[in-house]
A and B are shown apart, each in its own frame.
Chain A
Amino acid sequence: MFQFAVGPDRERLAGTLPGLLWLGFILSGLLGLGRTFVVERENDCWEGLLLAPGDKSAIYLGKLAGNVLLMLVVEVLLIVLFTIFFDIDLSPAIPALAIVVVLGTIGLASVGTLFAAMTAGVRARELLFPVLLLPVQVPVLLATVKATEAGLAGEPLAAYAHWLQLLAAADVIYLVAGVLTFEFILEP
């Protein structure tokens, strides 16, 4: 499909690959993230979590870890599929790619988990969740696509370190905000 959309030109394909890759990550990520708290709707488990004494941020971190893990598995699968279908050798870029993917996934999942908790009980959840999440995630998306581009092109780390720094800064801000504010979401 992507092959048709982009055309047979391999040069152009190489240029759009990082964008396509992250588009795939985000779409699959949105599906998973949006469902983070769907299991809690059965038997009012949401209330059960609320009743649990102790630090609510543990629940946030647990859900986040689950989401990050799931997303990483899907992302690795997607990368493997891309290399097979487009017949490209990504092996020299693997370390760079790994750093970008992990940082980017944490950024997406940290806000995604938080927003999923807010929209879990809302009628238009499927619509509201991406509408709320995507604009906030623009810095993460730009940074991941640009860093992936540079990494795949074999540029030295110094050439895109500023993107990784931005990504890391975003991760830290989102994680701290998530840990600190989650208890206010998980309230009656």
Chain B
Amino acid sequence: MTSEPRIRVTGLRKTFGSHRVLDGLDVDVREGEAVALLGANGAGKTTLLKILATLVRPTSGTAIVAGHDCAKDAERVRHEIGLVAHASYVYEDLTALENLRFWTTLAGLRPSAAALASALGSVELDRAADERVRTFSAGMKRRLSLARFVLARPQVLLLDEPFAGLDQRAKKWLEEHLASFKARGGAILMATHSFGRELAVADRIAILAGGAIALDTPRGALSADDVQRLYDLHTEDAP
């Protein structure tokens, strides 16, 4: 079990109508590892994350998360994952605190008032706890959706542009949070557009082009410029 990767994707294909988005994609993410997924708009990053999050059914191939098949055993997978998607999954007419309580209760947790308050505190929303989300900025909503995973502690985090819309302080908090998540043995798959500091948390870089992983390499000492060059090299000839 320990040698089994937390995420194992083999031969994954997904077509929408006649449009082929993923075409035989393979990727693994191990315990305590973070993989950054790079790719142009429409390359299929979000589709891959949604398949792993059980929100989209693959056309063929398998996606295993925490030992469970995403298509056949979606319910088990949902217990093990945290998804931060483009949408924030928050109710506009509820307050920050009400949202957090609703979503964590729905996930089967029973957080105490103190735990809720401290989770909001860690994303610096403690002062806005009783304000309606309708008044929040995009960055605040994103922070609120991140607060969920402070409480839920999933094994696998699936992040779609997690740093987008965050200010410097929130970025720093998220980096630290992701680092400690890895240290606890969690696995992270993170789609991103930026080659800068967001990549600091990544152990490997995977470039998605033409519906498959064109390059999968340890980040090692690659600089942002190196990554940019690799990215250009592998995405240019893609359709």
Touch between A and B in complex, CB under 8 Å? yes
Q: How far is the CA of A48 from the CA of B92 in the complex (A)?
A: 14
- A44-B85, A188-B57 known; A39 vs B108 contact (CB < 8 Å): no
B45 on the A face (CB < 8 A)? no
Looking at chain B's contact residues, is the secondary structure mostly helix, strand, loop, or mixed?
loop
Known contacts A48-B103, A49-B106, A53-B107; decide if A43 and B141 are in contact (CB<8 Å): yes
Q: Which residue of A lies closest to B90 (CB)?
A: A43
- Interface range, B side: 20 to 34
Question: Is A180 part of the binding interface, using a Cβ–Cβ cutoff of 8 Å?
Answer: no
Whether B75 contacts A53 by the Cβ 8 Å rule is yes
Find out whether the CB atom of B89 lies under 8 angstroms from the CB atom of A43: yes
Given A43-B87, A44-B85: A51 in contact with B93 (beta carbons within 8 A): no
- Which listed residue (A42, A51, A54) contacts B91, Cβ 8 A? A42
- Interface SS of A by simple majority: helix
* A-side contacts of B83, CB under 8 Å: 51
**Closest-CB distance, B208 to chain A (whole angstroms):** 21
A158 located at the interface, meaning its Cβ lies under 8 Å from any Cβ of chain B in the complex: no
**Residue on A nearest B79 in the bound complex, by CB:** A53
* CA of A53 to CA of B92, assembled, Å: 22
- What per-residue 1/0 map shows which CB atoms of A29-65 lie under 8 Å from chain B? 0000000000100111101111111100001000000
* List of A residues within 8 angstroms of B78 by Cβ: 51-53
Assuming A44-B86, A52-B106, A54-B106, what are 14 further A-B pairs, CB within 8 angstroms?
A39-B93, A42-B91, A45-B89, A47-B89, A48-B87, A50-B55, A51-B53, A51-B55, A51-B81, A51-B83, A51-B89, A52-B107, A188-B55, A188-B57
Which B residues are within 8 Å of any A CB, using their own CB? 50, 53-57, 75, 78-79, 81, 83, 85-93, 103, 106-108, 141
Write 6 A-B pairs (CB below 8 A) sorted by A numbering: A39-B92, A43-B92, A44-B86, A47-B55, A51-B53, A53-B79
